[in-house]
């Protein structure tokens, strides 16, 4: 869903054809696509916990490590969105 939302934002940025549209839609588009891919990794491992036998704890721990990477990536992406929000606030205040 995140990957598709990112792809839609790419279309949106392309439709804008200006640097401002690329700024507002292009950057979140890349962020969504990256987050989508990063979140998919732990999902795959969690699925394996239920579909395989004998290595549940080991696979669960790998999923936990992947989940940590997903949260760390998510944090970077939100920081990018925070920077964009600060830029928007500056623009609204006329700076």
Partner 1 sequence: MAEYEFSEEDNKTFDLLSGALRRFALTFAAFAVLLALMGIIWIATGMPRPAPDSSAGVDASWLIIVVYVGIPATAALAVMFLKPLENLKRITTTEGQDISELLAALDDLNQSFGLLRIFVAVLFIVMITRVAMLFF
Nearest to 73 by CA among 41, 44, 48, 49: 41
H helix runs in 17-95, sequence order: 19-21, 27-51, 56-92
| Residue 54 CB, nearest approach to partner 1 (Å) | 14
In the block, tokens 């239920």 appear at 50
Per CB under 8 A, the list member of 52, 53, 61, 95 interacting with partner 1 is: 61
| Residue 82 CB, nearest approach to partner 1 (Å) | 5
**Number of residues that make up the chain:** 95
Tokens for 40? 């998919």
Binding site for partner 1 (CB under 8 A): 1-2, 4-5, 8-9, 11-12, 15-18, 20-21, 24-25, 57, 60-61, 64-65, 67-68, 71-72, 74-75, 78-79, 81-82, 85-86, 88-89, 92-93
């Amino acid at each position: 869903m995140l990957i598709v939302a990112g792809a839609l934002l790419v279309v949106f940025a392309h439709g804008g054809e200006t640097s401002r549209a690329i700024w507002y839609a292009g950057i979140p588009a890349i962020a969504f696509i990256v987050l989508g891919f990063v979140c998919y990794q732990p999902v795959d491992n969690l699925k394996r916990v239920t579909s395989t036998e004998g290595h549940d704890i080991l696979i669960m721990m790998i999923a936990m490590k992947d989940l940590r990477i997903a949260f760390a990536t998510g944090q970077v992406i939100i920081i990018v969105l925070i920077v964009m929000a600060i830029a928007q606030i500056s623009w609204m205040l006329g700076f």
